[in-house]
Structure 1
Amino acid sequence: MGTRRTSLPGVGTQYDFTTDEGRHISVVVHHDGRRFLGFYDADDPDACRLEVPLSSDEATALAHLIDPAPIDAVRTDGIDLVTEHIPVGARSPYAGLLLAETQARTRTGASIVAVLRRTAAHPSPGPDFRFAIGDTLVAVGTREGVDALAEIIAGG
């Protein structure tokens, strides 16, 4: 099983998922909240056989069918906030650096509210928290802010 996240400039983010059987499924999340679920041909991983557009409510309903207790978007004063897990990979320019060095909140408006590490969870990390390869950042912000933070952490 493998997953991949790809930023689509001016569009949003594409999440690709490959099952243990080698089937390729993708979800494209547009900046405006629209989502498309894509199913790909097993013989040609670039050929989309079926694309299903989903409204935000439909995507939430589908997510609840797959996982009855996912983390929902939080709605505050008409602003949609999302929570997302962002991996710190081996190619991240921030592996080994301090949270303060990302200037995440200043650059994106998104906040890193926790860091998950194999050995422990670190809620509310301070500016002196040092990232390590394999960490998973728990970020909260607007869709655009969280996507921008994921790009920064990935080195994009």
Structure 2
Amino acid sequence: MNLKETDLPGIGKKFVVQTRSGEKLTIIIHDDGRREMYHYDNDNPDDSISMISLDDDEARYVSAIIGGITYQPTALENIEVALGGLIIEWYRLEPNYKAIGKTIGELRVRQRSGATIIAVIEKNHTKHVNPGPDLMLTADATVVVIGERLHQQQIRQILSSGSG
């Protein structure tokens, strides 16, 4: 995520947020408490495709919702689904992970951890269901793994350090 903050003399402040997924959101906080939010087209980041205006109370309530005060979601990376001792976990491959640029076969995931990669979802949303050993792992991809808790700990280590 990238954030740019700009003073708007006589108006307030402008915040431009570029999300990890490439979306652009501009938030203008007026000195009178109003907030304006603009969402931009991915293909043309200079064209606003939606806008909403909130008063101070509405903005504070919405920020509480977004900030997780009223509902605490389970982060995608931490979701676990228990299936009779088996757990499915999702791992986002951070850019510094040593497994990036290596294939599933090179990492010997199943042999070294006992876990099985059941899907890989690329940053561009391309899905590889039941990927073979030749699939190369890329930065910001999500790796979906099934295994027991010990297997999950081992695969987490393999993905981050490239070793078991």
TM score, norm. by length of structure 1: 0.52
Structure 1 counterpart of 2:147: 141
**What's 2:26 paired with?**
none
Q: Indicate yes or no: 2:78 matched with 1:73.
A: no
**Separation (CA, whole Å) in 1 of partners of 2:139 and 2:107:** 15
Q: Deviations over 1:46-95 (max 9, x none)?
A: xxxxxxxxxxxxxxxxx9xx67xx763111xxxx0000001211111111
| CA RMSD, Structure 1 to Structure 2 (Å) | 2.9
State percent identity of aligned pairs: 26
Q: Please point out which of 131, 136, 140 is paired with 1:130.
A: 136
Using CA pairs below 8 Å that are at least 6 residues apart, which structure has the higher relative contact order? 1
Which of the two has higher C-alpha Rg? 2
| Residue 94 (structure 1) aligned to one of 90, 99, 102 | 99
Pick the structure with more strand per residue. Answer: 1
Partner of 1:112: 117
Change (3 A) 1:73 1:22: closer
CA–CA separation in structure 2 for the residues paired with 1:110 and 1:104: 7
Per the alignment, do residues 74 and 21 of structure 1 end up closer, same or farther by CA in structure 2, a change over 3 Å counting?
Answer: closer
Residues 81 and 89 of structure 2 are in contact (CA less than 8 Å); yes or no, is this contact kept in structure 1? no
Kindly provide the amino acid, as one letter, of the partner of residue 74 in structure 1.
L
- TM value normalised by structure 2: 0.49
Aligned equivalents of 1:135, 1:118: Cα separation in 2: 5
Unaligned runs of 5+ residues in structure 1 are 2-18, 24-62
Question: How far apart are residue 97 of structure 1 and its match?
Answer: 1.2
Structure 1 segments, 4+ long, off by >3 Å, are 19-23
- In 2: Cα distance, 1:72 partner to 1:92 partner: 24
Residue 37 of structure 2 corresponds to none
How far 1:116 moved relative to its partner? 1.0
Specify the SS of the correspondent of 1:144: helix
Change (3 A) 1:20 1:151: farther
State the distance in 1 between where 2:68 and 2:89 align: 25
* Distance change >3 Å, CA 74–CA 22, structure 1 → 2: closer
**DSSP-derived class of the 2:81 partner:** coil
